[in-house]
Amino acid sequence: MIEECLVVEFAVTGDDCPLATATRETDTTVEAKPPQRRADGNALLQFTGDPAIAPVLDADERIRYLHASSTDERVNYRCLSKHPCVVHQLTDAGFMAEALSYADGVETYTGAVVGYDVLEGVLEAAGEAVGVTLERIYPLGSEDDEAVARRWGFTPAQEEALRLANEMGYFEVPRRADAGDVAAELGIGKSAFLERLRRGQAALMAQVFD
């Protein structure tokens, strides 16, 4: 019998990994895939971010190489990092990472765990890592057929930004709340909120007009 699958979101502060450092220094946001740990101990990172982070990453001695390709106003990056990733400590305990976001030095991990026993182990691992706190947890609905609830193609963090923006009147004319108001309610920076909103809206529009 398959145990209950739980969607979990962690926030990480105080980490000095290259992506966190780059977003902190440039006040930008990075959306990343879960890092792949290689046999030599290095982590393969694949992420999308602002062009401004390239010089910061290029100057970081922990980055072995950096490849960038432009798409519209965003840049797709691939690199090898010698810095150990906090998310691997959670993954080793049973956390199935789906999406990572870095905004002004704060990391957000969204993924799933199977069963409360596994969750307990993941939380123990989180307690031993740097600045990891549990932000959200909820059961994965039986109607959802993906590892993380993405019927509309966006992450739980993007869904939360869209829902709260709607509740606070961000989409009304005239607006009852601006981006700063919604970001403050979410507990994130304005640029991070706008990035989640933009990606969530893009995913939603792609589904609607498909």
Q: Given pLDDT bands bounded at 50, 70 and 90, which one contains residue 207?
A: low
Share of the chain above pLDDT 90, in %: 30
pLDDT at 98: 87
Question: What is the pLDDT of the chain when averaged over all its residues?
Answer: 84
pLDDT tens track for 121-158: 999 999 888 889 888 887 765 444 444 444 556 677 78
**3-state DSSP of the chain:** CCCCEEEEEEEECCCCCHHHHHHHHHCCEEEECCCEECCCCCEEEEEEECCCHHHHHHHCCCEEEEEEEEECCEEEEEEEECCCCHHHHHHHCCCEEEEEEEECCEEEEEEEEECHHHHHHHHHHHHHCCCEEEEEEEECCCCCCCCCCCCCCCCHHHHHHHHHHHHCCCCCCCCCCCHHHHHHHHCCCHHHHHHHHHHHHHHHHHHHCC
Report the predicted TM-score, pTM, of the whole model to 2 decimal places.
0.66
